[in-house]
């Protein structure tokens, strides 16, 4: 396992990988000093940092860095559905549950989204409450709002929609 930190515009991110794929991208919730990536950072972490920089610059809309989805079969299905949400677009938890084939699975979908360990790369920030409100984001609602507004600002007109 390898670990590095990236100082993003919305706070530091911890990036964890094995030698071939990203395993986690998490918001760091403390005010502690975040070290710069060291010389032992893997190529896949370097690629992840480069792609995150492009995302925050507004030039990357989809991530190509290899990553692994590790969870239950249901969680992986939920996360794969998240990957289908276009940059700049949002869906509700009920819409996501419908796409998975079970409208009654709304709470389970929300729980699975909350266990997503690949923040930003697997875009659970693009899921809103059924009433359109911003709810349930591990990084905090302020970060979710920032990410959605950022994507709206950099998306093409075909995808733009009302966020709030």
Domain limits, CATH 1.10.10.10, in the chain:
73-154
Q: How far apart (Å, rounded) are the C-alpha atoms in residues 48 and 50?
A: 5
DSSP string, 15-36: EEE-SSSEEEEEE--S-SPPPP
Per residue in 72-130, pLDDT (tens digit) is 999 999 999 999 999 999 999 999 999 999 889 999 999 999 999 999 999 999 999 88
Catalytic-labelled residue, pool 23, 109, 124, 127: 124
Topology annotation, domain 2-57: Double Stranded RNA Binding Domain (3.30.160)
The confidence band for 135, taking pLDDT boundaries of 50, 70 and 90, is confident
pLDDT of 133 above 90 = no
The confidence band for 161, taking pLDDT boundaries of 50, 70 and 90, is low
119 three-class SS: coil
Q: Strands of 10-161 (E only): list them.
A: 11-17, 22-27, 91-92, 127-128
Q: Cα dihedral sign for 12, 153, 161, 156?
A: negative
- Of 1.10.10.10, 3.90.550.10, 3.40.630.40, 1.10.260.40, the CATH number of 73-154 is 1.10.10.10
Q: Which residue has the higher pLDDT, 144 or 137?
A: 144
48 counts as catalytic: no
Q: What is the predicted pLDDT for the residue at 164?
A: 52
Per residue in 2-57, pLDDT (tens digit) is 999 999 999 999 999 999 999 999 998 766 556 665 656 889 999 999 999 999 99
pLDDT of 159 above 60 = no
Taking the model in full, what pTM does it have? 0.89
């Amino acid at each position: 396992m390898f670990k590095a930190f990236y100082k993003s515009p919305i706070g530091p991110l911890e990036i964890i990988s094995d030698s071939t794929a990203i395993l986690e991208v998490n918001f760091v919730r403390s005010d502690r000093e975040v070290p710069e990536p060291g010389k032992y950072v893997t190529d896949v972490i370097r690629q992840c940092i480069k792609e995150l920089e492009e995302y925050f610059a507004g030039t990357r809309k989809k991530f190509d860095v290899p990553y692994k989805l590790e969870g239950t079969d249901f969680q992986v299905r939920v996360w794969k559905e998240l990957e289908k949400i276009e940059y700049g677009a949002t869906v509700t938890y009920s819409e996501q549950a419908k796409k998975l084939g079970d409208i009654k699975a709304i709470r389970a979908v929300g729980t699975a989204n909350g266990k997503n360990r690949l923040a930003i790369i697997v875009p659970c920030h693009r899921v809103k409450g059924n009433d359109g409100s911003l709810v349930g984001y591990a990084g905090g609602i302020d970060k979710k709002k920032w990410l959605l507004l950022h994507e709206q600002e950099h998306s093409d007109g075909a995808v733009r929609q009302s966020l709030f």
